[in-house]
């Protein structure tokens, strides 16, 4: 009997059979934990503060739907929700509108600089936001002062916030879409060129529909990221009329811990989290397909 072959057999069993199964089990346990956590938050939001503490893992005996209205009013969610919706919608649209043509140009360029630029976009994803806080504050103050003193006489920090949100989200969007455009066959563009279509028409009418799964992936992931953005909002637009839902939820926590309205606190969390959970569950398959088809190319 060959001792080398006998030693390789257990290693092959571990690497080819046991390890993938253990990984799958760990992933499913993690998914189950997160789903249970989301469901638990929803149940807590329908309880009174007394039941939250005394019976944290039981079903609500009498659903307290008033928790949602109290949380909405206490945190002034009306203005915050409007800000979140506008910033998320406009920001996600601008990210895709800028990233898609840039990624297409990089994917189809034969110049050596295209590969370097793609690498720079990949490197941009690794820069932590916390390391940029001081430069962001300096730029924010400078832009606001310049616009108020020299240009328009007024300025809304939400515009500055939108610019930074788009700029910081572009590296990921361009990187993913570049890989996706590279996965598309070049024969389609050649056929469009033979039909008399120019570069712009080819991109808009041919390549964008073909890249729809990748674009939807980038759009949905950026919607989730912009909706949950907290630190950047607190730094750039901390005003009461400018804050978004995550910042309003932090203020709600500061209020609820003194009033002990924990049912209202969980209701505020559900208002913030549940729309994105529903969106992700609805588009989850498209996100996975877009990521696997694009990033690996």
Residue 290's pLDDT is: 64
For the ranges 59-68, 111-120, 183-192, 214-223, the maximum mean pLDDT occurs at 214-223
Longest dimension (CA), the chain: 87
Q: Mean pLDDT, the chain, as a whole number?
A: 84
Whole-structure pTM value: 0.83
* Percent of residues, the chain, with pLDDT higher than 70: 89
- Between helices 212-227 and 77-108, what is the axis angle to 10°? 140
Confidence of residue 264 (pLDDT cuts 50, 70, 90): confident
The token pair that represents 94 in the structure block? 């601008």
Predicted pLDDT of residue 11:
54
> For the chain, which residues make up each domain, given as ranges?
68-294
Residue 161 in this model has a pLDDT that exceeds 80: yes
**CATH number of the domain located at residue range(s) 68-294 in this protein:** 1.10.3720.10
Task: Give the CA angle between residues 224, 225, 229 to the nearest 5°.
Answer: 120
pLDDT at position 9: 54
| Structure confidence by residue, pLDDT tens digits, 128-143 | 888 888 999 999 999 8
Q: What is the 3-state secondary structure (H, E, C) of the chain?
A: CCHHHHHHHHHHHHHHHHHHHHHHHHHHHHHHHHHHHHHHHHHHCCCCHHHHHHCCCCCCCCCCCHHHHHHHHHCCHHHHHHHHHHHHHHHHHHHHHHHHHHHHHHHHCCCHHHHHHHHHHHHHCCCCHHHHHHHHHHHHHHHHHHHHHHHCCCCCHHHHHHHHHHHHHHHHHHHHHHHHHHHCCCHHHHHHHHCCCCHHHHHHHHHHHHCHHHHHHHHHHHHHHHHCCCHHHHHHCCCCCCCCHHHHHHHHHHHHHHHCCHHHHHHHHHHHHHHHHHHHHHHHHHHHHHHHHHCCC
What pLDDT digit, counting tens, does each position of 212-254 carry? Answer: 888 988 999 999 999 999 899 999 988 888 889 999 888 887 7
């Amino acid at each position: 009997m060959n001792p080398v072959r006998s030693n390789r057999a257990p290693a092959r069993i571990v690497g080819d059979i046991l390890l993938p199964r253990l990984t799958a089990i760990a992933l499913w346990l993690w998914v189950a934990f997160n789903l249970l956590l989301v469901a638990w938050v929803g149940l807590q939001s329908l309880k009174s503060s007394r039941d939250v503490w005394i019976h944290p893992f039981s079903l609500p005996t009498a659903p307290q739907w008033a928790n949602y209205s109290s949380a909405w009013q206490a945190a002034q969610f009306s203005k915050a929700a409007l800000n979140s919706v506008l910033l998320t919608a406009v920001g996600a649209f601008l990210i895709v509108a800028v990233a898609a043509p840039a990624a297409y140009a990089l994917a189809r360029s034969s110049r050596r600089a295209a590969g370097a630029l793609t690498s720079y976009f990949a490197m941009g994803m690794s820069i932590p936001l916390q390391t940029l806080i001081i430069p962001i504050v300096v730029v924010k103050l400078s832009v606001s002062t310049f616009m108020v003193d020299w240009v328009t006489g007024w300025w809304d920090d939400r515009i500055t916030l939108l610019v930074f949100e788009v700029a910081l989200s572009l590296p990921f969007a361009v990187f993913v879409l570049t890989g996706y455009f590279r996965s598309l066959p070049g024969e389609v563009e050649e056929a469009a060129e033979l039909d008399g279509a120019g570069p712009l028409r080819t991109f808009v009418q041919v390549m964008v529909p073909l890249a729809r799964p990748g674009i939807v992936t980038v759009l949905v992931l950026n919607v989730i990221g912009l909706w949950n953005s907290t630190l950047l909002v607190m730094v750039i637009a901390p005003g009461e009329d400018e804050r978004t839902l995550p910042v309003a939820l932090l203020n709600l926590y500061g209020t609820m811990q003194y009033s002990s309205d924990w049912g209202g606190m969980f209701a505020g969390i559900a208002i913030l989290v549940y729309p994105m959970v529903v969106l992700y569950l609805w588009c989850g398959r498209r996100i996975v397909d877009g990521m696997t088809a694009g990033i690996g190319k």
